Amino acid sequence: MIKTANRIANVEEYYFSRKLAEVRGLDTPELRVINLGIGSPDQAPSSNAIDALIASAKNPANHGYQNYKGIPAFRKAIADFYQTTYQTTIDPETMILPLMGSKEGIMHIAMAFVNEGEEVLIPNPGYPTYSSVANLVGAKLRPYDLKEDLNWGIDIAALKKSDLSKVKIMWVNFPHMPTGRVASRAELKELVDLAREHQFLIVNDNPYSLVLNDNPMSILSIEGAEDVALELNSLSKSHNMAGWRLGWVAGKKELIEAVLKVKSNMDSGMFLGLQHAATEALKNGKEWFTSLNKVYAERKAVAQQLLDILGCTYSNDQSGLFVWAKAPAHITDVEKWIDEILYGTKVFITPGFIFGEAGRRYIRISLCCTVESLNQALTRVDAFLKKSAVSDLSTAKA
Ligand SMILES: Cc1ncc(COP(=O)(O)O)c(C=O)c1O
């Protein structure tokens, strides 16, 4: 066997890449798996975006390599989106770099800014890619806790007291996945001030800003952010385009140029048809988001009923594509419990441990599933719990 590089020694295949293969294996025509795990929107993108892709793909002139920085119309559409959505002005020429989604940017930014041994602040719980990427670039991981008693806010006072001299990047992700927490402007300002004081890069990963959230905010709108902040954003969640791989990083020219140095050596621009489609999708107005969020709100109500049946507790005030909930106290091993539910009902729910140690007592339900499927999941889980209660009782009697 050829020996692998040391850098992958601490990195595992992405949890969903492994687990979903197992979940798919349980699927049978008699009883289909209901996957409440992953945040991959199931609704269609807007028809103007699809039409633009088709029209563009039909043009033989559109299939060559593209400019590494994307076409001006796409960058202008992103800048317009920032103005309308976040009341933030960004220069389309110099402050935007299109990406294959926000996930890709996490790697490029780490490659561009972090040296081996430098520290990276990572939310706990949080999106697992921040830590995998930190491991891949040989950084030292410094998880920072989001505290349930602070309504999943960051304990900024504790951070301030710690030694931040070796920190190179702080990843933040508001609205936060998996807890659904939205940061206030004051909190973001405090974090930006901290980044300025200690001269580290603060990156807000912002793909959920328009899902069940009344106050979309960009870190780039915070006073003082321009020198120390980048923002990742994406059409995956807000525009139902997760599989298209469309996103971007925005920020100061010099920071974007550093990311471009890495990215332009890794791929060769984005298919023009995708850029045309994204340009159209970004024109979707208020009605698009109102109808999208109406669907998610209906689903959320059923997801909460399911959580009630499971005996979980949760906050009503969560943004984004998921409901995050605490398992009942009598469940000692939440991962095992989730597997028992999966094998007993073919309903898959994400166990919170995959988001870090602070998620160990929690579970996450995705809203990327129809009301009908959520209702079916509810019926199955209810029957399973009743059956388990009867068998527990008979075991106790025996
Ligand atoms: C916090 C967070 N960041 C980034 C991503 C990846 O998004 P994209 O599809 O834009 O790469 C996800 C997807 O689940 C996410 O939850």
Question: Which atom of ligand 1 is nearest to 245's Cα?
Answer: 9
C-alpha–C-alpha distance, residues 384 and 155, integer Å: 39
pLDDT of residue 256: 98
What rounded mean pLDDT belongs to the chain? 96
CA angle 136, 243, 289 (to 5 degrees): 115
Co-location of 125 and 65 in the same domain: yes
Final residue belonging to a domain, choices 247, 281, 315: 281
Same domain, 11 and 96: no
Q: What pLDDT score was predicted for residue 10?
A: 80
pLDDT for 394 equals 64
Nearest to 342 by CA among 20, 18, 14: 20
* In-domain check, residue 1: no
DSSP code at position 137: T
pLDDT of amino acid 397 = 62
Name the band, by pLDDT with cuts 50, 70 and 90, for residue 396: low
Q: Are 309 and 385 in contact (CB under 8 A)?
A: yes
Question: Which pLDDT belongs to residue 12?
Answer: 79
| pLDDT tier, 174 (very low <50, low <70, confident <90, very high otherwise) | very high
Residue ranges with strand state E in the chain: 34-36, 96-99, 119-124, 140-147, 153-154, 167-172, 201-205, 229-234, 247-251, 313-314, 322-326, 347-351, 362-366
Give the pLDDT score at 316. 94
In the reported structure, the alpha carbon of residue 242 is separated from the centroid of ligand 1 by a whole-number distance in angstroms of 9
Q: What is the pLDDT of residue 17?
A: 83
Q: Are residues 114 and 203 in the same domain?
A: yes
Is 176:191 a contact under the CB 8 Å cutoff? no
Same domain, 179 and 274: yes
Q: What does the pLDDT look like over 219-270, one tens digit per residue? A: 999 999 999 999 999 999 999 999 999 999 999 999 999 999 999 999 999 9
Nearest CA to ligand 1 atom 13: 39
Do both 134 and 26 map to the same domain?
Answer: no
| CATH number, domain with residue 213 | 3.40.640.10
Residue 388 is predicted with a pLDDT of 87
For 19-29, what is each residue's pLDDT tens digit? 999 999 999 99
CATH of the domain at 29: 3.90.1150.10
Q: Which atom of ligand 1 is nearest to the CA of 233?
A: 10
Query: Domain of 368?
Result: 7-44+286-389
pLDDT at 162: 97
Say yes or no: 215 and 96 in one domain.
yes
User: What digits encode the pLDDT tens for the residues 273-322?
Assistant: 999 999 999 999 999 999 999 999 999 999 999 999 999 999 999 999 99
Query: Residue 379 is encoded by which pair of tokens?
Result: 């019926």
The pair of structure tokens assigned to 341 is 């539910």
Report helix, strand or coil for 299.
helix
Domain boundary among 249, 281, 313: 281
* Residue from 133, 205, 364 to probe ligand 1 pocket by mutation (most atoms less than 8 Å from CB): 205
Return d(Cα 205, Cα 103) in angstroms, integer. 9
- pTM, rounded to two decimals: 0.95
Q: How far is the CA of 9 from the centre of ligand 1 (A)?
A: 24
Query: What is the band of 193 on the pLDDT scale with cuts at 50, 70, 90?
Result: very high
From its phi and psi, is residue 358 left (phi > 0), alpha (psi between -120 and 50) or beta? alpha
For residue 14, is pLDDT > 90? no
Pick the residue whose CA is nearest to atom 14 on ligand 1.
Answer: 39
What pLDDT score does 393 carry?
Answer: 61
Mutate to test the pocket of ligand 1, among 109, 236, 249, 274 (most ligand atoms within 8 A of CB): 236
Q: Which residues form the pocket of ligand 1, taking CB atoms under 6 Å from any ligand atom?
A: 39, 101-103, 127, 173, 177, 205, 207, 234, 236, 242, 247
* SS percent in the chain: helix, strand, coil, step 5: 45, 15, 35
Q: Which pLDDT score, from 0 to 100, does residue 160 have?
A: 96
How far apart are the CA of 57 and the centre of ligand 1, in A? Answer: 27
Structural domain ending residue among the three candidates 281, 315, 340: 281
Q: Does residue 396 fall inside a structural domain? A: no
Do both 247 and 342 map to the same domain?
no
**235 three-class SS:** coil
Q: For residue 2, is it within any domain?
A: no
Same domain, yes or no, for 103 and 246? yes
Tens digits of residue pLDDT in 353-388? 999 999 999 999 999 999 999 999 999 999 999 998
Say whether both 216 and 177 belong to one domain.
Answer: yes
How many folded domains does the chain comprise?
2
The model's confidence at residue 390, banded by pLDDT at 50, 70 and 90, is confident
Identify the pLDDT of residue 398.
59
Does residue 345 belong to any structural domain of this protein?
yes
pLDDT band at 15 (very low <50, low <70, confident <90, very high): confident
pLDDT band at 83 (very low <50, low <70, confident <90, very high): very high
Question: Does any domain span residue 398?
Answer: no
Q: Which of 38, 127, 173 to mutate to test the pocket of ligand 1 (most atoms within 8 A of CB)?
A: 127
Query: What confidence category does residue 163 fall into, taking pLDDT thresholds of 50, 70 and 90?
Result: very high
pLDDT at position 389: 81
Same domain as 239, residue 367? no
- Residue 193 and residue 84 share a domain: yes
219, 358: one domain: no
